[in-house]
Structure 1
């Protein structure tokens, strides 16, 4: 015999509507009532009909997660698995499924997002990037569709909820750390500044040099690959006088640079210091272990997902932005001059 919501409500001594709200994890139901109803559901072996619930509530119970990057890079860069784990942990607790869109072709990603919104296949979206003049961002703002961002938006920051680090300060702090060790010729290796994170970190690098009255910049913008790393290292080594330290904006770039330096028979940190961002196991296990800026990817993802769920539950809430502190983790890839 099939157990129904009425059966659960009768044994838990609550109204059927209360059971429905417990299933939906409604914020106005007390934790005590939720625990009591869930215990009865377990005892009776009741399993919610999620499809029926979605039809009644006009909710897909699904969140779209968008990233403009190939799946191969997403799996290689330790930042994204950790951030996605934070997103997944929060959404799973709130009974949401995840629909991901990855890729490098902007037109295809844009069309997928349009289809998801118009087809009502997602209740909200999380953008795992912030890009200048992004058609996906513009579309979501125009449609007034619920979304949050992992990363500071380039515009409409008063209309959008986002979670980020203070990337200008983080890069400035990392560069200042190298300056305090005695380095005055510091190279910066980052990505395309059309993405806000790279623009901010490049700005932070420049800011630290200005504050230390260092006139010379060494800025390299490159995609992550062994060949690119070799070319950059060759350019760095050819400069006179050559840089004695390198700030990289993520662990993949740092790993490719370490490999290229090794090929050139250059020792880290004796010949040149190297730093990175993220602070995953990669940094601990690299040779030598990397000094990194810990940006707490899991927390970034978790808070981004939580902000979206809060917005879905309370569409009129005041928009909020969260900055997750970043901290330097010192290891053997740097030393005093």
Structure 2
């Protein structure tokens, strides 16, 4: 394998000059930079970006932080698509992903501390937005560069990438009422009541109020399951499900009612379960791409990514 010393010898310069030229140092003349880059290309030289970054005390890796996840939890297709978008953007930058995923808050925080202090990872993307989160608090305290995918609320000061979830919730309700003439829709949310679910619920309520419709809300409840709720409320004629993983859990119970359903995310898995039902495509791959761009552009605070309903843009 060719080294900087080999290039320097052939160019008749010092190794330090060759290194600075390959890095485009402004103190090196344009002619020298072009000459050395040409020699490096001819010799098939590939820089070791890991070593280069470690000499600066910074690993060429981005920490990907998942929400607390039990060992037997199914893979979330939304997260998989996020990682695909992140990977395609990081690769040309010569950065790699390292994942932190744990079944408890304590273990997750310990993992993050190890990544910062031992692995020298100083750039993170968080796949969740939660108030009073110990991981987020630690990253703030250490002044570590991070971006959250999601938005924890109105008083949020962290840099984030997100969809306009209020508008997405409104679009879901509008689809049911205008496309399927639904009169009494039901909004289903998980027991966790994630901030993005609350935002979608807000949009759902706002559209119902504007259109003069009344609707119901059901929160994940193992004591009083969804089919029991639907039997007690036979007027419900359409459903908005705020989370695709939750819909996956409930799909077998919901199928018997043959109601029009609007769900969020447009992954292949959800396509197989939902069939021809309407889906709000949150474009997770684009969210991942924009999260990386924002991570390395500290001048910007946030980025909102468009969503789509089926095949047509909604924003």
User: Same fold per TM (> 0.5)?
Assistant: yes
- Tell me whether 1:298 sits opposite 2:285 in the alignment: yes
Aligned residue number for residue 334 of structure 1: none
- Tell me whether 1:164 sits opposite 2:162 in the alignment: yes
Deviation string, structure 1 residues 239-262 (Cα, Å, up to 9, x no partner): 243x11111123333333332233
Q: CA deviation at 1:212?
A: 2.1
| SS of residue matched to 1:63 | strand
CA distance in 2, matches of 1:103, 1:148: 19
Q: Is the 8 A contact 1:165 1:323 kept in 2?
A: yes
Judged with a 3 Å threshold, the aligned counterparts in structure 2 of structure 1 residues 64 and 163 are, in CA distance, closer, same or farther, namely same
| SS of residue matched to 1:282 | helix
Aligned residue number for residue 325 of structure 1: 306
Deviation string, structure 1 residues 68-99 (Cα, Å, up to 9, x no partner): 14376776321111101111111122111211
- State the TM-score, normalizing by the size of structure 2: 0.83
Question: Alignment partner for residue 229 of structure 2, among 232, 235, 240?
Answer: 235
Which piece of structure 1 moves more, 138-147 or 191-200? 191-200
Aligned residue number for residue 16 of structure 1: 18
- Taking the TM superposition and a 5 Å limit, the aligned residue runs for 1:133-212 are 133-154=132-153, 157-158=156-157, 160-180=158-178, 181-192=180-191, 195-212=194-211
Q: CA deviation at 1:163?
A: 0.7
- Taking the TM superposition and a 5 Å limit, the aligned residue runs for 1:74-89 are 76-89=75-88
Q: CA deviation at 1:161?
A: 1.9
Q: CA deviation at 1:65?
A: 0.8
Judged with a 3 Å threshold, the aligned counterparts in structure 2 of structure 1 residues 9 and 325 are, in CA distance, closer, same or farther, namely farther
- Tell me whether 1:250 sits opposite 2:237 in the alignment: no
Which piece of structure 1 moves more, 202-211 or 57-66? 202-211
- State the TM-score, normalizing by the size of structure 1: 0.78
CA distance in 2, matches of 1:185, 1:51: 57
Judged with a 3 Å threshold, the aligned counterparts in structure 2 of structure 1 residues 125 and 74 are, in CA distance, closer, same or farther, namely farther
Judged with a 3 Å threshold, the aligned counterparts in structure 2 of structure 1 residues 156 and 63 are, in CA distance, closer, same or farther, namely farther
- Tell me whether 1:277 sits opposite 2:260 in the alignment: no
| SS of residue matched to 2:225 | helix
Judged with a 3 Å threshold, the aligned counterparts in structure 2 of structure 1 residues 13 and 80 are, in CA distance, closer, same or farther, namely farther
- Tell me whether 1:62 sits opposite 2:49 in the alignment: no
Q: Is the 8 A contact 2:89 2:292 kept in 1?
A: yes
Deviation string, structure 1 residues 83-129 (Cα, Å, up to 9, x no partner): 01111111122111211111331111122222322335312111010
- Tell me whether 1:111 sits opposite 2:146 in the alignment: no
Aligned length: 304
Deviation string, structure 1 residues 315-337 (Cα, Å, up to 9, x no partner): xxx23311011111179xxxxxx
Q: Is the 8 A contact 1:251 1:282 kept in 2?
A: no
